[in-house]
Amino acid sequence: MVKVLNVLGARPNFMKMAPITAAMARRTGELSQVLVHTGQHYDDAMSSSFLRDLDMPTPDINLDVGSGTHAEQTARVMLAVEPVLVAQRPDWVVVVGDVNSTLACALVASKLGIRIAHVEAGLRSFDWTMPEEINRVLTDRLASVLFTPSEDADANLRREGLSPDRIVRVGNVMIDTLMQHLERARRSPVLAELGVRPREFAVLTMHRPSNVDTPAALRHIVTVLGSVAGRLPILFPAHPRTQARLREHGIALPPGVRILEPMGYVEFLGLWSQARLVLTDSGGLQEETTALGIPCLTLRENTERPITVTQGTNRVVGSDPERIAAAVAAVLNDATEPAARGVPPLWDGRAAERIVDALLARTRVV
């Protein structure tokens, strides 16, 4: 029996881990799993509601590390997870994405000689000012198996000198989750409750420090939102830290931009999947909008998911108001339905099954 310890940290991890835990639950004769929640996101809006929405089991262990600086949070996770790994002695530790919990658990597992599987390996923004880039690169160095979502991720890992034997392209687990919940999400009453009709609104998400922590940068984006909202109302489910920065900097949103509290996964999917346009600095939404053929404008100067630009509906526009306004105009002036330039291979809803198959196969040959 193969024993796997799966790690959850921040909210983006939940959508990536949900199909993996479900796929493992279907293989109980071959493996057992332990679900550890580090508590990096810990309030109901950012954590518990997502677990319920995604039909995930209650974590077996919650480390309750809470918030703090990057160093504090990483250190707390390391200190809390070490005795868990010593007690559990799993065959594999599975970490997903690029949050602090991902790297912290990988570091501890590596020092204990426990094999690490990194889901969503090989993504690179090549921007070392992003904490996520540091987490991604270091976790990939430590992992025994690198589960990648796309060919560009494979190429990044090969270019960095990592052995091709460690690289397994499985597809995108985010798309597994999207496909599983899309029909239910579109039955959600969220549009009626907000008084909007399909394809007649935009959705905005924004939380990255480069956009919200500097008053000048935040004001630039808010200014251009006013001109966009003159043509298309904007619904803005705002991250708690973004709401806090708006208050701290004394920045008021313009008319036509409606701020909403954070939503559960299914409710939010029901909202953005029927939008005319999505503006975001999130990584996952770049992928999800590509899968559904919805125009996405990424409010960053780079992306670790270039496949969504070359083979999707994403456009990287940064935070410059003129670039954002021009990109919005280009989308809204196109009366045709947005058409994806093709969904990347293996983004078919079966990535988690391929992950479980690969873990079992690699355990047997050791």
292-314 pLDDT, tens digit each: 999 999 999 999 999 999 999 99
- From the candidates 181, 207, 220, 249, which is the catalytic residue? 207
Rounded CA separation 285/342 (Å): 16
CATH 3.40.50.2000 residue ranges of the chain are 2-172+347-364, 184-332
Rounded CA separation 259/261 (Å): 7
User: Which pLDDT value is given to residue 210?
Assistant: 87
Full DSSP string of 285-300: HHHHHHHHT--EEE-S
Q: Is the pLDDT of residue 270 over 60?
A: yes
Identify the CATH number of the domain defined by range 184-332: 3.40.50.2000
Question: Would you tell me which CATH number, out of the four given (3.40.109.10, 3.40.50.2000, 3.40.50.300, 3.30.950.10), belongs to the domain 2-172+347-364?
Answer: 3.40.50.2000
pLDDT level of residue 335 (50, 70, 90 thresholds): low
Choice between 277 and 46, residue whose per-residue pLDDT is larger: 277
Rounded CA separation 88/191 (Å): 45
Interval 8-41: pLDDT, tens = 998 889 999 999 999 999 999 999 999 999 986 5
The residue-averaged pLDDT of 261-279 equals: 95
Query: Active-site residue 207, yes or no?
Result: yes
pLDDT level of residue 43 (50, 70, 90 thresholds): low
Interval 137-175: pLDDT, tens = 999 999 999 999 999 999 999 999 999 999 999 999 999
Place of tokens 């590596």: 110
**Mean pLDDT over each residue of the chain, to the nearest integer:** 93
Q: Is the pLDDT of residue 109 over 70?
A: yes
Interval 70-104: pLDDT, tens = 999 999 999 999 999 999 999 999 999 999 999 99
Interval 190-211: pLDDT, tens = 999 999 999 999 999 998 888 9
Q: Is the pLDDT of residue 249 over 80?
A: yes
Percent of the chain exceeding pLDDT 70 equals 95
Strand partners, 92: 4, 115
* Joined tokens for residue 318: 């940064």
9, exposed or middle or buried, with CB in 10 Å at 0-12, 13-18, 19+?
buried
How far is residue 42 from each of residues 83, 140, 205, 284, measured CA to CA in Å? 21, 26, 20, 20
Dihedral (C-alpha) 207, 211, 217, 219: value to the nearest 10 degrees?
-20
